[in-house]
Amino acid sequence: MSIRAKLALTTAAVMATSIFLSGCGLFGKEKESLDPPKDVTYLKEGEALDASPDAETATEEKADVVMRDIYLIDKNGFVVAQSLPLPKTESVAKQVLSYLVADGDVANILPNGFRTVLPAGTEFDVDVHEGKATVDFSEEFTTYKPEDEKRILQAITWTLTQFDSIDKVELRVNGYPLTEMPANGTPISSEGLTRADGINTEFTDVADITNTRPVTVYYLTQIDDDFYYVPVTRRVSNTEKDDVTAVIQQLVEGPGILTALETGLVDDVKLVDEPKIEDHVVTLNFNEAILGNSEKKEISDETLRSIVLSLTEQTGIDSVKVMVNGSSEVMNEKGEALTEPVTRPEKVNAGRF
């Protein structure tokens, strides 16, 4: 199901989401990310930008805050990253996990429609060594709702692995390693939990599950007028020739019709040539269906962001170069030329506070 029709009816929402996406500059310049500038000022509703001395104080206070991805559960039961402002600290791994605990530090900044995954009162220690984060929980951890079991594993894993120093996660309770979860017995590999285990896993219509492999793609959903991106791991047949093509195909096919998710790519979108990967950049040559406005040669922010988020989940891909019928003359919604590869945004979804 394409989101383009819905977006046409919700222009205001599109403008809101478009602040997350910036265009790329000319070749030879430094690659730009999709995120807003680092010095962007977040204002409360109805508050004007203040050039008075108080504004300098606010800037100093902001220097003590950093945005982190906290994986929460949305109203549809999906595990989703929300970028939240946290105080600067040296114990970043322990800090982000503390924001997964119900009624804890996250209570005052929890976005509407989202909830935490760890039971109230849960305590823990975190040790990071050689790429592995070992988390030792208190007994309260085991009092979670059984239906949240896999969501808990996913939220912990994806929240911690946002850091370059963490590739895998080991879970313990009162010092004892968990080989399976307490409620439903979900197995936990002795090698540790990684992003390769998937998130919001959806099984597609594949006859032989043993002859498949996982890919993670980003679909869209919304709360009120705000769109945000949801990672979904799907199983694709091993007959698919490469993961890049498989990811684009999953984006075009879209999520199941019974979910609250939609895709940013229309049904007619196709790759004209095979994807090419060089120096961690994947080049994609699409037909004109990829364009939201063919006359202006514009690609919508939602389409571009979905593609970049999805493909940079692949090992070895850091950025995406988009072409249309062999031409690099492609614009973003701001009318800026996408002449340079587009990098992954530092934060998936920026929360509203």
As a whole number, the mean pLDDT across the chain is 84
**What is the torsion angle, in degrees rounded to the nearest 10, for the CA atoms of residue 282, residue 285, residue 288 and residue 291?**
10
Give the closest residue to 231 by CA, choosing from 154, 321, 141, 294.
Answer: 154
**Residue 205 has what pLDDT?**
63
**Tens digit of pLDDT for each residue in 265-285?**
999 999 999 999 999 999 999
**Residue 243 has what pLDDT?**
95
**Residue 11 has what pLDDT?**
39
Write the DSSP assignment of 167-211 as a string of letters.
SEEEEEETTEEPSB-TTT--B--TT-B-GGG-SS-B--S-S-GGG
**Residue 241 has what pLDDT?**
83
Range name among 93-107, 262-276, 337-351 with the lowest pLDDT average: 337-351
Write the DSSP assignment of 279-297 as a string of letters.
TTEEEEEE-GGG-SBTTTT
Phi, psi of 182 (to 5 degrees): -65, -35
The answer to whether 125 and 158 are in contact (CB under 8 A) is no
Distances (CA, A) of 90 to 64, 97, 193, 249, 273: 12, 14, 23, 41, 46
**Residue 214 has what pLDDT?**
93
Distances (CA, A) of 158 to 50, 57, 122, 320: 37, 34, 19, 22
Q: Does 262 have pLDDT greater than 70?
A: yes
Three-class SS state of 87: strand
Q: Does 37 have pLDDT greater than 80?
A: no
Phi, psi of 124 (to 5 degrees): -165, 160
Write the DSSP assignment of 243-306 as a string of letters.
HHHHHHHHHHH-S-TTSS-BBSS-TT--BSS--EEETTEEEEEE-GGG-SBTTTTB--HHHHHH
What domains does the chain contain, in order, with CATH numbers? 4-34+200-343 (no CATH), 79-195 (3.30.300)
Range name among 129-133, 161-165, 200-204 with the lowest pLDDT average: 200-204
Q: Quick one: tokens of 333?
A: 């919604």
The answer to whether 340 and 29 are in contact (CB under 8 A) is yes
Range name among 42-56, 74-88, 162-176, 279-293 with the lowest pLDDT average: 42-56
Question: Residue 206's pLDDT band (boundaries 50, 70, 90)?
Answer: low
Burial class (CB within 10 angstroms; exposed 0-12, middle 13-18, buried 19+) of 1: middle
Bridge-partner residues for 126, per DSSP?
135
Distances (CA, A) of 154 to 79, 259, 336: 7, 19, 37
Q: Does 92 have pLDDT greater than 80?
A: yes
CA distance 14 to 5: 12
- The amino acid occupying position 294 is S
Kindly tell me the number of DSSP H helices and DSSP E strands found in the chain: 7, 13
Q: Does 165 have pLDDT greater than 60?
A: yes
Three-class SS state of 326: coil
**Residue 62 has what pLDDT?**
65
Give the residue with greater pLDDT, 49 vs 165: 165
Residue reference for tokens 């249309």: 324
Q: Does 114 have pLDDT greater than 70?
A: yes
Average pLDDT for 140-154: 97
Give the residue with greater pLDDT, 17 vs 168: 168
Q: Does 20 have pLDDT greater than 90?
A: no
